[in-house]
Amino acid sequence: MFHNPFSSTSIGDENPIRSLGDYSKPSHEGYRNTIELPVGNNVVPLRPDTIRLVQNGCSFHRLHSEDSNQHLKDFLKLVDSLDLDGENRERTRLRLFQFSLHDQASNWLERLPEGSITTWEDLTTRFLA
């Protein structure tokens, strides 16, 4: 069988040749969600302005000058002011926390095993460690 080196695929080729343009396209490949959200019936959608509020109101970069305990206090003060019921409070904390992390702190969360965080207590214990 003749294989054309300039074609992007051949019969039985499991790894097609990719163009430079293919590498510049956004991809979800490699993304793993480390936080496994609890199942709930009343899932409140996150509004973009709420996400921005967390990003701008309490950001954590994992710098030596930052205090992780203080970050948690600030985060809880902000998120708990959203006046959510008990079931949605933990779920919303888990959903929003990732938006408060930047740079090294965000990388830390992404390196955790997929689905390894299932409760707010799991998250805070790992974050403070």
Determine the Cα–Cα distance for residues 129 and 123; give it in Å rounded to an integer: 10
Count structural domains, the chain: 1
Give the pLDDT mean for 24-33: 57
Give the pLDDT mean for 35-52: 77
- Is 115 part of a structural domain of the chain? yes
Asked whether 54 and 100 are in contact (CB, 8 A), the reply is: yes
**Please, what is the angle between helix 120-128 and helix 86-100, to 10°?**
30
Q: Please, what is the average pLDDT of the chain?
A: 79
pLDDT category of residue 9 using cuts at 50, 70 and 90: very low
pLDDT category of residue 11 using cuts at 50, 70 and 90: low
Determine the Cα–Cα distance for residues 118 and 105; give it in Å rounded to an integer: 19
Asked whether 99 and 60 are in contact (CB, 8 A), the reply is: no
91: domain CATH number? 1.10.1200
Residues 69-122 pLDDT 10s = 999 999 999 988 886 666 678 888 999 999 999 999 999 999 998 889 999 999
| Its pTM surpasses 0.85 | no
**Residue 80: what pLDDT?**
86
Please give the residue range of the domain that contains residue 68: 48-128
- Is 41 part of a structural domain of the chain? no
Residue 47 DSSP class: P
- Is the pLDDT reported for residue 22 higher than 50? yes
Query: 35: closest CA among 78, 86, 93?
Result: 93
Which residue has tokens 């709420």? Answer: 50
- Is 80 part of a structural domain of the chain? yes
Give the pLDDT mean for 34-56: 80
- Is 36 part of a structural domain of the chain? no
3-class DSSP assignment, residue 101: strand
- Is 20 part of a structural domain of the chain? no
- Is 92 part of a structural domain of the chain? yes
* Alpha-helical runs (H) found in the chain: 20-24, 48-57, 68-80, 86-100, 103-111, 120-128
**Residue 91: what pLDDT?**
86
pLDDT > 70 in the chain, percent: 67
